[in-house]
Every structure is written in structure tokens, then in C-alpha cells.
Structure 1
Amino acid sequence: MTSTLEPATARSTADVAVTLTDVRKAFGHGPSAVVALDGVDLRVAPGEFVCLLGASGCGKSTLLNLVAGLDAPTAGRIELATSRPAVMFQEAALMPWLTAVRNVELPLRLAGLKRGPRREKANELLSLVRLVGAGHKRPHELSGGMRQRVALARALASTLGSAEEGTPGLLLMDEPFAALDAITRDVLQAELVRVWRETNTAILFVTHDVREAVRLGQRVVLLSSRPGRVVREWDTTTGDEAALIGDITGHLREVISGHAAA
């Protein structure tokens, strides 16, 4: 089986933001190869918020890297309806010598947007993440939560070209709030949901926190322990939240226990 990564740049409209079909990823060759993902099938619709859940080492971040184009699958197909998926990591990874507004401007500049319009758009995005008046500050002058807000605004800036082309925006988030304190994390989770509703950007969000997954996602997808496979999905838009958390936690424990016993 051959591996392909096919951005669907020719589509003017699309009913899917990203599709993974029988995706496999192995590191190394021969008997010593480590299979991180094996036979993953996943589909994210335009504007959908999907949380990818699993134990540490199950291949969640590897899957995100494949969708982002930072690595290639060993086998299977990844089809994107956008050529510009944006990625947000645990660390804000801002350019320390640039102000907040210039950090947000960076992907717009790389996309060829002229200075005036890109400054206007960057300020709009900082306003969207509630950082009005902070655009002149450099990263070391901002709190950890504020830096992540700037990173979110910059990621959203990266998806703007997709909207202009009439294709769905896609934001890939790899445990972006994991390094923050509980109160800041709670606030930013609520802010992320607000921003997502306002922008209608598809989000694939990696986490190992069941409560975070249920709070944020419309759908929770559980990966098995290595090699990662989709073992179950839940629709979080219906049913009792506490019961859903209990059910998902039980299945996650089964996955972890099964791996430990293997």
C-alpha cells in the first residue's frame, strides 16, 4: 500500500475538512520498527470540533503531525480540503523579538498580504481572543495564558487563506493548555469554544484529559494504546455530561489496562 497526502486544492466547496483512510505510521524498518499508528480511519467535517483522546504514547501527536504535513504516513491516505492547516502546540512558540501583533501578522505576511490590511486583520484577531491593547507587547511581557491567546490568533490567521479560497479552515491543536494552571486552562477552554463558534473553523484537538475532551468537543474519538487505532467514538452533544465522562473514562482505563497486560 502506498501513502499519499492529497490537499484538495481544486475544490471550491467541500463536505469534509480532513479524511484519514487506513493510515499507518511506523518509525524505523524491519523487526526494530515501531508502529505508532495502524489502520486509522477518521473524518472531520467543516466546522466540526473533534477531540482525539488516548493514553500517553498512543500516537495522538503523531497523527496530528501527519495531518499537518510535518511527517508522511507509511501507508494510507490523508485528504485535506485546505492547503493551510494551522497548528497550535503546548508551547506558544512565539517569535520573542516580535510584538504580539507582529507575531499574528507573520502568516499573513508569508501569504503575501500587504502591510495595512494584515495589520488590520491581526488587530481584529487579537480582539477576537480578547487581547485588545496588548498588541505592542513582546512575549516576555505576557502571561502564559496571554501568550497562548496570541498563538491562537496567529493560528487563526493561518487559516484565513482557506476561507478566501472557499475551503474549510482547519486548526490542529496538540494539548495547547496542558502547561497552564487549572484556572487559566478553564478560562481558555471557554474562550476557545467561543472563538470556534464565531469562526466556524474545524478543530482537531489532542488531549489525554477526558473532562477537557467532553467539555470542548462535539465528538470524542478514543485511540487504543500503541499502535494507535480508533476504538470508539462518542457524540457529546446529547446525553448527560457526567455519565458520558464516566463511560469514556471506563473505556480509556480498559485501553490502558489492556496495553499494560500485553
Structure 2
Amino acid sequence: MSPLREGGEPVTVTTAAGTAARLTHVTKSFGPQQVLDDISVDVAPGEFVTLLGASGCGKSTLLNLVAGLDAPTTGTIEVPGGRPALMFQEHALFPWLTAGKNIELALKMRGMPRADRTDEAERLLRLVRLRGAYTKRVHELSGGMRQRVALARALAQDSRLLLMDEPFAALDAITRDVLHEELTRVWSETNVAVLFVTHNVREAVRLAERVVLLSSRPGRVARQWEVGIPHPRRIEDADVAALSVEITEQLRGEIRRHGQH
């Protein structure tokens, strides 16, 4: 069933050849409050894009629209191959299941035969560098390990688009740094397209091929940057720092403009 706009009008959700996702003139309002205004963004197959903006600018709302968890008020969203995989800030693992069984549940929902699920779950755990963690319960895993399992579970959905909503925000700086490296490696090995929400400028620059800055509410595309810095990157790299300063100045300008209204 197609999602409906407010008022019952169908929303167009179609397939765009050559894209992982395409948003065209998307707006979103909750009652009288407009959250997003005229968002048009393409994500190419295998591209890593970060959505950056101040708190409350509509980043997570936009991600929910792409995920199909909500419908836009106007505009179209095109996602080839069905619903994308979604990874939240909280790992959302089922604590009564082992790490492997959490992944197997996603494989079951995908329709994979029971006989193949254990091997595939173990392969995905190896991909995120958690070999031997299949039988571990959630409470036995550190915060970083839980997010790795959540990433493996998202990859188990076999989508060509992975949506990530500030998945490392609750982690300490060292763990976050390690997971940046791991995510970059997994992305390069799987060639999955990633749309990653963050309010951390350096994180956005370290990870992405392209940074999209949203203005303060209502969220609009204020500016985009092609990063162009070869991997591997580090937070402290001079090129990462220089581009981060430029983007931060633009972000501060958006915040100041919002504060004047």
C-alpha cells in the first residue's frame, strides 16, 4: 500500500534508475509547523552522504521519510529496491537474544531459509570484526560491540541503501573513532549507499563523500560539499580540519539566521 499525504492524497514512491535514493521537492509539516521545505537530494549507488545541521533542523525527520516510517506532506521520494535498512542511535537489539540470533531475525524477515541463517549471521559478524560473538548476549557486549551487531543486523536486510541516525553519538570518543574506521571499511567492502545523519561536523567530513547542510527549521538544503579527501581519513587530519572549519562557519551562520527570527 502506498503511503498517504496528510489529507489522504497518495505519495509517489517510485524507482529512479541509477540512484540509491532521490528526494524531489519534499516538504514535511506537522500541523501548522513546517519542518522541511523543498528538499531535493540524490544519493548515488554506493555513495556515502552525511546530512548535517543544528539540532531540530529536521535531519531525523528526513531520514524517517526516506525509510518509509512517515510520509512527506508534498514531494516525491524514490528508493529503488524497496525499503532501505535503518540503524538508530540506540542499538535496539533484543536483549533476550544472542548477537547471532538478533541478526538471524533480520535474515528471517528477509526470507532467508532457516538452514542458511546461522552461516550468514556468522559471516556478517566477521564483517564487522566480531568473530566469535554469535552466542554472546547483549549485556555481555560493550557499547561499541552492540553498535557493530546493530550494523550487521542492518546489513542483513540486504538493502542497497543504509540509513544511519547518529549511530555513534552516545559512544565515547575513542570508541567512536574506532567505529568510524570500521564503518568506512564495511562501506568500501559492501558498496552499500549510506545516508548518515549527524550534528558533528568533523564526523561528517571524516566519513562522507558528500556533506549536505540543512538550514535551521524549516530545514532546507543550504549548501553541499564534495569532500574529495582520500581514505583513510582521521579526525585530526589537516584537510579534514580545514573543511570542517569552513562547514562550521556556514552552520553557525544558519544558526544565527534562525536565532534572529
1:116 shift after superposition: 2.0
1:5 shift after superposition: 4.2
Residue in structure 2 matched with residue 26 of structure 1 by the alignment: 29
Residue in structure 2 matched with residue 253 of structure 1 by the alignment: 252
Identity of aligned residues (%): 64
1:238 shift after superposition: 4.6
- 1:194-213 equivalences in 2 (<5 Å): 194-213=185-204
> Distance between the aligned counterparts of 1:98 and 1:238, measured in 2?
40
Amino acid in structure 2 at the alignment position of 1:223: L
Residue in structure 1 matched with residue 163 of structure 2 by the alignment: 172
Amino acid in structure 1 at the alignment position of 2:131: V
Q: CA RMSD in A?
A: 1.5
Amino acid in structure 2 at the alignment position of 1:21: T
Mapped contact 2:124–2:152 kept (Cα < 8 A): yes
- 1:1-262 equivalences in 2 (<5 Å): 4-8=11-15, 14-28=17-31, 33-158=32-157, 160=158, 162=159, 169-238=160-229, 240-262=239-261
> Distance between the aligned counterparts of 1:141 and 1:81, measured in 2?
37
Cα pair distance change 1:215/1:238, threshold 3 Å: closer
Mapped contact 2:180–2:207 kept (Cα < 8 A): yes
Cα pair distance change 1:7/1:119, threshold 3 Å: farther
Mapped contact 1:3–1:72 kept (Cα < 8 A): no
Structure 2 regions of 5+ residues with no counterpart? 231-238
Amino acid in structure 2 at the alignment position of 1:104: I
- Residues 82-126 of structure 1, C-alpha deviation per residue, up to 9 Å, x if partnerless? 213000011000011110001011121012211221111111000
- SS of match in other structure, 1:4: coil
- SS of match in other structure, 1:150: helix
> Distance between the aligned counterparts of 2:83 and 2:114, measured in 1?
21
Mapped contact 2:213–2:223 kept (Cα < 8 A): yes
Cα pair distance change 1:122/1:84, threshold 3 Å: farther
> Distance between the aligned counterparts of 2:10 and 2:45, measured in 1?
24
- Residues 46-73 of structure 1, C-alpha deviation per residue, up to 9 Å, x if partnerless? 0000000000000000000000000000
- Residues 16-46 of structure 1, C-alpha deviation per residue, up to 9 Å, x if partnerless? 0000000000001xxxx11110100000000
Q: TM-score, normalised by structure 2?
A: 0.91
Residue in structure 2 matched with residue 166 of structure 1 by the alignment: none
- Residues 141-166 of structure 1, C-alpha deviation per residue, up to 9 Å, x if partnerless? 111100000000000001x2x4xxxx
Mapped contact 1:189–1:216 kept (Cα < 8 A): yes
Moved over 6 A (4+): none
> Distance between the aligned counterparts of 2:53 and 2:222, measured in 1?
10
Amino acid in structure 2 at the alignment position of 1:187: V
1:7 shift after superposition: 4.3
